[in-house]
A and B are shown apart, each in its own frame.
Chain A
Amino acid sequence: MNKNESLAAERRRKTIMSVVLGVICIIYVLPVFTVVLNSFKLNTFVKTDTFAVPRGEMWAGFANFIKGMTFGNYPFWNSVKYSVLITVLSTALILLFCSMAAWYIARVNSFFCKTIYYLCVFSMVVPFQMVMFTLSKTADSLHLNTPWTIPIVYLGFGAGLAIFMFVGFVKSIPLEIEEAASIDGCGPVRTYFSVVFPMLKPTLISVGILEIMWVWNDFLLPYLVLDINEYRTIPIHIQYLKGSYGTVDLGATMALILLSIIPVIIFYLICQKYIIKGVAAGAVKG
């Protein structure tokens, strides 16, 4: 009797919690919802009627989106292209070269390897402002200032976390597997690519997710390194539109913001499992 009562109370408590959390969830998505509302609103009403549903004279239809495409005399499509290019190239470079380096560091473990490893760990606590000026000048003088070459800068500045996570994982792989491969006649390169690399898959996904989230949203590094009249990533483009004081079309800006977060949210919903795992893994090791 008593037990049944407490069970019922427990169930009631859980239902109440579900409802409360549901309400919090709705509040949580309201900011994104507000962006959706305002991307269909005429500019003059964004400031005065921010939370109103765009109806009647406020309704701008898709005009904001069309206007946003060439907003600020720069085609938005180019920003999308450059953002995708930089993110994909940088992540691929980091995954390939950092995992290779991590395997070498973990297996050879010479003085030089240890030095590189500890420098990598050290680089994780260095804020970007410390190297911002000198890095942008170095990148300029080495012609790393285009979307095709900036991934090399990302490889250098992002190596820290990646090497740290890969080394941690490689150390947990038993050496016997690689020894067996070498007895069977595999050279180091083949051992790496056909035996070790496939085993790294979980860490490759975790690191990949973390790097994608970083590079895609990064603003200051590409802003300082790239020639922004020619190459603007999405964050640079949005900052450029809003940051240039004067008459800013808020409706069109919100349309662009909406366009820039839709792919991110789709990516999140598809890869949610990996993203959450990657974040947890990165944090536990960091």
Chain B
Amino acid sequence: MKGIFKNPLRRWFWLFLGPVTAAFAIGFVWPFLQGIYLSFCKFKLIRNAKFIGFGNYLSAFKDPTFLHAFWYTALFALTSLLFINILGFAAAYVLTQGIKGSNLFRTVFFMPNLIGGIVLGYIWSMIFDGILSRYGTSILLETKYGFWGLIILMCWQQIGYMMIIYIAGLQAVPEDMLEAAKIDGATKRQTLFRVTIPNVMPSITICTFLSLTNGFKLFDQNLALTGGQPFIIQADGSSIKTTEMLALNIYNTFYSSNSASKGVAQAKAVLFFILVAGLGLAQLAYTRKREVQQ
């Protein structure tokens, strides 16, 4: 039976798989392979790329702006991960307790997710400047304002998203387990930490994975809120953009006036890819281990 059914389908390969395969080759596979190749090349235009080995990678590691962006991004991603997940979980926990108006609250908390990163950045830069201008300063003048400003922005945007995932997880916690805990005389706190949280570990895995990779990949919000300002001018005349994150640093290296930097930028992009993919997988493997088997 299976054989009869499968054969006619295979003849329609070009119709079913063709379009996606072609677009996928153009939109992902080819650019990806070419990107890896170009990271070993010196080039201004792709057609006169010259193979130079690991030179670009060495330059990338020696670039102080790249290292600064790395540490800044790591700090940002971890901080935002903590805030977003704790607050998102708290919101989900409260909203699954059968409080009046839960649906309305859920609607409001999720709403900022639909606003794009660029627009979000400009909304918040206006708000922060509106507050800070009273004290004669601006979000563009101090690194710490830029950092915490971006944390607040990301919390505002992402808490609702994580909350939705946590709500789905909390609703899947078996009712009889909670009942059993209650009968055994567990307090609310004990039930939360001993029964509820172990049971929502899959949601915690997903949410921490999403917020960690989102934090590392952040671009639009970073560009629109501070664009890397304030800058520190170094002794040799180059400048470090103190609130510039990795994605923005790679973008700025690609499209800077220094035309010899494209190879270095592509090498940075490959390193960035390895970092994001590696972190994501390591984090998944770590939290997956802690999930309860049912």
Contacts and interface: CB of A to CB of B under 8 A. Distances in A.
A206 B110 CA distance: 16
B28 to A, nearest CB: 5
Contacts of B8: 182, 187-188
A7 interface: no
A254 B126 contact: yes
Given A21-B101, A253-B122, A283-B165, A134 B34 contact: yes
B164 A179 contact: no
B285 interface: no
Contacts, number: 286
Nearest to A126: B273
Interface stretch (B18-26, B141-149, B286-294): B18-26
A261 to B, nearest CB: 6
Interface in B247-290: 247, 250-251, 254, 262, 265-266, 269-270, 272-273, 276-277, 280-281
A217 interface: yes
Contacts of B266: 133-134
Nearest to B98: A14
At the interface, is chain B mostly helix, strand, loop or mixed? helix
A120 B247 CA distance: 22
Nearest to A28: B108
A142 interface: yes
Given A137-B46, A216-B116, A179 B1 contact: yes
B246 to A, nearest CB: 8
Interface string A150-188: 001111110110010000000000010011001000011
The size bracket of the interface on A is 35 or more
B56 to A, nearest CB: 13
B23 to A, nearest CB: 4
Interface string B177-205: 00000000000000000000000001000
A265 B126 contact: no
Contacts of A200: none
A194 interface: no
A127 to B, nearest CB: 5
Most buried by B among A97, A133, A261: A133
B113 to A, nearest CB: 7
B20 A155 contact: yes
B106 interface: yes
A268 B115 CA distance: 10
Interface in A233-286: 234-235, 238-239, 242-243, 250, 253-254, 257, 260-261, 264-265, 267-269, 272, 275-276, 279-280, 283-284, 286
A11 B105 CA distance: 19
B244 to A, nearest CB: 13
Contacts of B116: 216-219, 234-235
Contacts of B129: 47, 50
Interface string B151-168: 000001000010011011
B84 interface: no
Contact of B206 (A22, A34, A284): A284
A132 B114 contact: no
A205 B242 CA distance: 42
Interface stretch (A58-66, A68-76, A104-112): A104-112
Contacts of B281: 125
B100 A14 contact: yes
A131 B118 CA distance: 21
A209 B23 CA distance: 21
B31 A138 contact: yes
B16 A104 contact: yes
A32 B156 CA distance: 12
A119 B24 contact: yes
B64 interface: no
A14 B117 contact: no
A271 to B, nearest CB: 10
Contacts of A125: 213, 276-277, 280-281
5 contacts: A97-B19, A125-B281, A128-B247, A133-B262, A250-B126
Given A50-B131, A159-B20, A264-B115, 19 more contacts: A21-B94, A32-B111, A34-B130, A38-B126, A47-B130, A129-B247, A134-B30, A152-B27, A155-B23, A157-B27, A182-B5, A216-B116, A217-B220, A238-B118, A253-B122, A257-B119, A260-B119, A279-B161, A280-B165
For the complex of A and B, 7 pairs with smallest distance between CB atoms: A156-B27, A50-B130, A217-B116, A156-B23, A104-B16, A134-B31, A131-B31
Interface of B: 1-2, 4-6, 8-13, 15-17, 19-21, 23-32, 34-35, 38, 46, 94-95, 97-101, 104-119, 122-124, 126-127, 129-131, 133, 156, 161, 164-165, 167-168, 202, 206-207, 210, 213, 216-217, 219-220, 223-224, 227, 246-247, 250-251, 254, 262, 265-266, 269-270, 272-273, 276-277, 280-281
Interface of A: 14-15, 17-18, 21-22, 24-25, 28-29, 31-32, 34-35, 38, 46-48, 50-51, 93, 97-98, 100-101, 103-105, 107-108, 110, 113, 116, 119-120, 123, 125-135, 137-139, 142, 144, 152-157, 159-160, 163, 175, 178-179, 182, 187-189, 192, 213, 216-220, 234-235, 238-239, 242-243, 250, 253-254, 257, 260-261, 264-265, 267-269, 272, 275-276, 279-280, 283-284, 286
